Amino acid sequence: MEALRAVVATQNANKVRELREALPGWELEPLEADEWPEETGETYLENASLKARFGRALAPPEAWVLGEDSGIECDALDGAPGLHSARWSPRGDQADALLDRLGGEPNRRARMVAELVAISPAGEEFRGRGAIEGRVALERRGQCGFGYDPVFAVQGVTFAEMGSEKKNSISHRARAIRALAAAMACSSDRATTDDPLDRLH
């Protein structure tokens, strides 16, 4: 089966790599752009849609476009950093910044959230949301992953400790992919029998 071509509207090479690993049936490439729109949305979905629509205007007409937005929400910080997770600590390491902000706070409950928006060559738009509950560890653990992976733990194991295969099966982004597949499956407009939905799993 020929791989489905898609462009990912992001400047984050780690997200492109993770999406490639989670979508083996897709041929993913990062969007090439000289300037990027400011993420002004009030929700993850709005930001993901903004990126996808920006990418749709620049991507090859035959390619799908994926837009993604994600973040970590900490109960003790009233849901912060949330939408600002990527820009919360522009001058330092994100994981270290979160550990410093929480300090000895006993409430370490947190969740990782992701929204994915896919736009087809025909302009159809689909979305998928994923979230996973966990806790912020007291210190960095593990060598894999990026961003908050060394401090976000599920059942006592950080994303950075569990490795990409395990993380890609349970993460917020993996759950968003499954939700996106379900949303696409509900569409009544199927162009061919070689269905791109099969390649989302």
Separation CA 25–CA 175 (nearest Å): 17
What's the pLDDT band for 4 if we cut at 50, 70, 90? confident
What local confidence, expressed as pLDDT, does residue 2 receive? 64
CATH number reported for the structural domain that contains residue 178 in this entry: 3.90.950.10
Catalytic residue among 34, 69, 195, 198: 69
What is the phi/psi pair of residue 77, to 5°?
Answer: -110, 25
Catalogue the E-assigned strands of 12-139: 26-30, 64-74, 109-119, 125-136
3-state secondary structure of 131: strand
Q: Is 78 a catalytic residue?
A: no
What's the pLDDT band for 127 if we cut at 50, 70, 90? very high
pLDDT of 192 > 50? The answer is no
pLDDT of 190 > 80? The answer is no
What local confidence, expressed as pLDDT, does residue 90 receive? 65
Higher-pLDDT residue of 3 and 70 is: 70
Mean pLDDT of 138-157: 95
H or E element, residue 20: helix 13-22
pLDDT of 197 > 50? The answer is no
What local confidence, expressed as pLDDT, does residue 153 receive? 98
What's the predicted TM-score (pTM) here? 0.87
Q: How many domains does the chain have?
A: 1
Rg from Cα positions in the chain:
17
pLDDT of 191 > 50? The answer is no
pLDDT in tens, 77-106: 999 999 999 887 766 789 999 999 999 999
Percentage, residues of the chain above pLDDT 90: 69
**Residue 185 structural domain:** 4-200
pLDDT of 1 > 80? The answer is no
